[in-house]
Amino acid sequence: MSISERLHEFMVGRIIFPSTNYLLDRRAIIANYKHLLKSQWYKEDFLRELQRKKLHKILRYASLYIPYYKSKFEEIGLVPQDIKTLEDIKLIPPLSKQDVTDHYKEMVDIRLHSSIPAADNRAGIPGAPLAFARFRKHTLIKSTTSGSTGAPTIFYEDGVKSALNWAYELRLKNWYGLNPGAKEARLLRLSTGYSPRSMESRGRRWFWGQLILPGTNLSDEEYALCMDSINTFKPKVLWGVTSALNGLGEYVLKQGGSLGSYRPKVIIGWSDPLYPYDDEVLKSAFRCPVTSIYSSREIGHIAGMCPHGSFHINEENLFVESEKISTGANDCAGELLVTTLGVSPMPFIRYRMGDLGHVAGSTCSCGRSLHVLKNLLGRTGEIFISKEGRMIAPSFWGLLFMTAKISGAVKRFQIIYTKSKDIKIIIERAAGFSNETEKFIKEAVTKNFSKNTKLKLEYIPIIEPQLSGKYQMVINEEKIT
């Protein structure tokens, strides 16, 4: 790295980015980042003890200042002292998205209730940061989930979560050899009014070293423009919704795959799972490592994939459990429950993520003891009860289509459970698809479902994403009214 590049990264990463974020109430990004670099090497026992202490603190806080939890704890006759170990958290009933929708205002710290009207009346995009927040009386922000999988959930937050998200991203980039301030292209889901010359885009480019690009499926002309900007800006990181990055990768391959002298150092996908097909496209188009972030709007970044392929949970500030549910053959996946361990205006305790996964101890060769998320392959709403009463989790399909035998033969797939409990599989074929592939899929389905279940395979040129840019792996027509 040249001296001027090093100087630029230092100026952006250590001075301008953290100080401008400070004005947006996102404080201590670099201090948090430095701390995360140390805490990732904590020994297992030390990490659990740290979580236990933080859990105690958050429960005491919730019982004093969060009206919703105060009455919930009273209702079940629980005092924070009853929770002696991390296991004891099971005494607290999980929190559903519906609970949040019904009680979100009671879930805010009572001392901040006077700030709720100001947050509610603020114009602009929900969740947008507050300029010069340090000089304002009210710093509570109203935000909402994207609602791509149902009705949006409303919640309140301050700048702490966003600051932590930045710190986690810096740690993830550090795993791939990058410093704070490394140039980055961010493919964002933008409104139709997006313009590369907007104040925000320009500000982020000059002050944060971020090139903002549109992050939904684009036409070839638009991809060409994106690649021109990328070739000029030369970002070390390509960051975006996984399926949008994949679109860009496919465009590059279609053009013959020549990137000239440009090579990113890492690609970070988020929001969608990273399917083997995406991984393959991105690696062959950009010839660099590909990683992924598991995240939610309400909670923030939950886990990131290390260079050894493990999805390490950001356990310093989160406690993640997987609730066991019986799903027939896929027993090692349950609904993920997340508890935020830092004091925040609206803490989430045992929050149902709606995602299926499995939390396992780390045996990762990177040596980090942060627990690992496995089988992150779908949403709980996608569970299907077959004609013979068997529960089929979406991970069944994820695993089936990821088997080495057919993973290179299928670009995308979509499962449709019909109202009559039959199955339709829609397939976007890749070059390696053959009669053998079809036979393999049919056999796997016949083996796992009764003979009464009818199976239909349908091939289409392209499976379109939803409006949000996400792909829906499973559609249960029974649940659509």
Which of 32, 310, 330, 344 is close enough to bind Zn ion by CB under 5 A?
Answer: 310
Count of residues in contact with Zn ion, rule CB under 5 A: 5
Could you say whether residue 246 binds Zn ion (CB under 5 A)? no
Select from 53, 308, 324, 442 the one that contacts Zn ion (CB under 5 A). 308
CB 182 within 8 A of CB 234: no
Only one of the segments 199-207, 237-245, 258-266, 302-310 lies at the binding site for Zn ion (rule: CB under 5 A); that segment is: 302-310
Q: How far is the CB of 241 from Zn ion (least distance, A)?
A: 24
Task: Give the Cα separation of 196 and 212 in Å (integer).
Answer: 7
Locate 316 and state its tokens: 């310093």
Should residue 306 be labelled a site residue for Zn ion when binding is judged by CB under 5 A?
yes
Residue 365 beta carbon to Zn ion: minimum distance, rounded to whole angstroms: 7
Identify the helix (H) or strand (E) that includes residue 264.
none
User: What would the x/- binding string for Zn ion be over residues 258 to 297, using CB under 5 A?
Assistant: ----------------------------------------
CB of residue 302 vs Zn ion: minimum separation in angstroms?
15
* Residues 293-297: contacts with CB under 8 Å, at least 24 apart: 293/168, 293/169, 293/172, 293/268, 293/269, 294/270, 294/373, 294/376, 295/165, 295/270, 295/271, 296/145, 296/338, 296/353, 297/127, 297/143, 297/144, 297/145, 297/146, 297/155
Q: How far is the CB of 268 from Zn ion (least distance, A)?
A: 16
Residues in 331-370 that interact with Zn ion by CB under 5 A? 364, 366
In whole angstroms, the minimum distance from the beta carbon of 269 to Zn ion comes to 17
Q: State which residue, 119 or 376, has the beta carbon closest to Zn ion.
A: 376
The answer to whether the beta carbons of residues 429 and 409 sit under 8 Å apart is yes
Q: In the range 422-441, which residues lie near Zn ion by CB under 5 A?
A: none
Task: Note whether 158 and 175 are within 8 A (CB).
Answer: no
Which residue's CB is nearer to Zn ion, number 243 or number 310?
310
Q: What is the C-alpha separation between 305 and 308, in angstroms, rounded?
A: 8
Nearer Cβ to Zn ion (17/168):
168
Cβ proximity of 231 and 264 under 8 Å: no
Q: Which two tokens stand for residue 78?
A: 């629980």
Cβ 46 to Zn ion, closest distance in Å? 18
For residue 218, the tally of other CB atoms under 10 A from its CB is: 18
CB of 178 to Zn ion, least distance (A): 17
The Cα 68–Cα 110 span in angstroms is 10
Name the segment binding Zn ion (CB under 5 A); options: 188-196, 244-252, 307-315, 397-405.
307-315
Q: Residue 26's closest CA among 205, 140, 172, 161?
A: 161
Shortest Å, Cβ 442 to Zn ion: 37
Rg (CA), the chain: 23
Where does this chain touch Zn ion (CB under 5 A) — which range of 41-49, 274-282, 299-307, 453-461?
Answer: 299-307
Q: Which range binds Zn ion by CB under 5 A, 12-20, 168-176, 223-231, 303-311?
A: 303-311
Bridge partners, 318 (sequence order): 340
Site residues, Zn ion (CB under 5 A): 306, 308, 310, 364, 366
